[in-house]
Amino acid sequence: MDCITNRRTVRRYAARPVEDAILHRLLAEAERTQTMGNMQLYSVVVTRSPEMKARLLPLHFGQPMVTEAPVVLTFCADFNRTVRWCEQRQAEPGYDNFLSFLNSATDALLYCQTFCTLAEAEGLGLCFLGTTLYNPQGIVDVLGLPRLVAPVATITLGWPAEEPAQTDRLPLSAIVHDEHYHDYDAQTIDNAYSEKESLPENLAFVRENGKQTLAQVFTDVRYTRRDNEALSRGYLDMLRHQGFLRE
């Protein structure tokens, strides 16, 4: 499928607007995605206003796509709607727990990815912001997410104003396991990562960061233990605050 084979993350967008007609058509088509018990445990908040983008910007560490893209979409795990339906129909819901968060997060992420494929097939470009997991309580507050709703993904969306080079990927043999998991040894790790490590942009990346190996750029600069542990506590605090961790 060309839109997948040729895909690249797009961070710069043309001035051309993304009309509601096309956005809503694609969001509706994506609803065909499989969903747990056909409950559709997700919601999407559409951000277009400059004021709201400006409030989201620092929560995504100032990444300029947040204010420059015509549309920002925040995909949320959502058991609130289902619970309100239950309460209004003489049913007693028990969805204030970790499994229910996982079920709704799964629904939201699968839906998000179908939407991304549809949008890219339409010629739109997008950037998936991993930062959604970094400051979730801030996003809850800005978007007014009620109990049993948690942000799990954000994309910035627009018509592409750039066509960047595709980034590298691991060989398929590094990610597929026949019948059971075959753990990696020194040789299979080398096979998986040597091409990535030899790319000029990655060699430059190591040099610019003053490191000996590419892996050290990840562990010491980009995704450090200290940050990961603090952010883990932050996400769990948000889940508790949103009612997903009732003991």
Helix (H, G, I), strand (E, B) or coil at 77: strand
Nearest to 85 by CA among 177, 148, 23, 135: 148
Pick the piece of the chain touching a second copy (CB under 8 A) from 11-19, 35-43, 58-66, 156-164. 35-43
Among 165, 179, 200, 207, the residue binding a second copy under the rule CB under 8 A is 179
Tokens of 51: 């004021």
- Put residue 210 in one of left, alpha, beta given phi > 0 → left and psi -120 to 50 → alpha: left
How far apart are the C-alpha atoms of 62 and 90, rounded to whole Å?
Answer: 45
The C-alpha atoms of residue 3 and residue 8 are separated, in whole angstroms, by 9
Given the structure tokens 């003991």, which residue do they identify? 247
Q: Does 86 bind a second copy (CB under 8 A)?
A: yes
Q: Contacts with a second copy in 209-228 (CB under 8 A)?
A: 212-216, 218-220, 222-226, 228
x/- string (CB under 8 A) for a second copy, residues 101-130? -xx-xx--xx-xxx-xxx--x------x-x
Q: How far is the CB of 204 from a second copy (least distance, A)?
A: 15
Closer residue to a second copy (CB): 134 or 159: 134
CB closer to a second copy out of 68 and 211: 211
- Tell me if 137 contacts a second copy by CB under 8 A: no
d(CA 236, CA 127): 25
Count of residues of this chain found to bind a second copy when the rule CB under 8 A is applied? 112
Complex with a second copy: residue 208 or 229, whichever CB lies closer:
229
Which of 14, 16, 31, 164 binds a second copy (CB under 8 A)? It is 31
Figure out which of the listed residues 50, 89, 165, 207 binds a second copy, where binding follows CB under 8 A.
89
* Sequence letter at residue 21: A
133 is a site residue for a second copy (CB under 8 A): yes
Residue selected from 61, 62, 166, 210 as contacting a second copy according to rule CB under 8 A: 166
Interface with a second copy, residue 198, by CB under 8 A: no
Of positions 13, 18, 45, 137, contacts a second copy by CB under 8 A: 45
Residue 125, helix vs strand vs coil: strand
Q: Judging by beta carbons within 10 Å of its beta carbon (0-12, 13-18, 19+), is residue 42 exposed, middle or buried? A: buried
Residues 230, 80: Cα–Cα separation, whole Å: 27
Q: Report yes or no: 75 and 110 within 8 Å, Cβ to Cβ.
A: no
- Selected range binding a second copy among 11-19, 58-66, 77-85, 157-165, rule: CB under 8 A: 77-85
